Amino acid sequence: MKTKVRVGKKLTIHIPKGVAEELSITEGDVLFLRAKDNKIILEHEDAVLLSLKGRKFASLSPEEVERISEEEQNKRESSH
């Protein structure tokens, strides 16, 4: 998902609801912000939090979960 945001007072940026929902970001979450290659990257505090709040999968073997996890991580890295 790509959307335009405006930088507000005190350099604040509002995370649109659709983006927050897609990334399972909720009020009170701790996120890390960093700059890389002229881009701003915003990440969840850790992988455990993402696994608890992220998209859920059912009836999968541990090997399938690992494969899907690697694919999703690769997608996130390639989009940044």
Confidence of residue 54 (pLDDT cuts 50, 70, 90): low
Taking the whole predicted model, whether its pTM rises above 0.85 is answered as: no
- What backbone torsions phi and psi does residue 31 show, to the nearest 5 degrees? -120, 155
Rounded alpha-carbon distances, angstroms, from residue 33 to 41, 43, 59, 65: 6, 6, 34, 27
β-pair partners for 41? 34
Q: Kindly state the percentage of the chain with pLDDT values over 90.
A: 28
| Residue 49 predicted with pLDDT over 90 | no
Under DSSP, the state recorded for 56 is -
**H/E stretch holding 42:** strand 39-44
**pLDDT above 70: percentage of residues in the chain:** 81
Query: Looking at residue 32, what is its pLDDT?
Result: 87
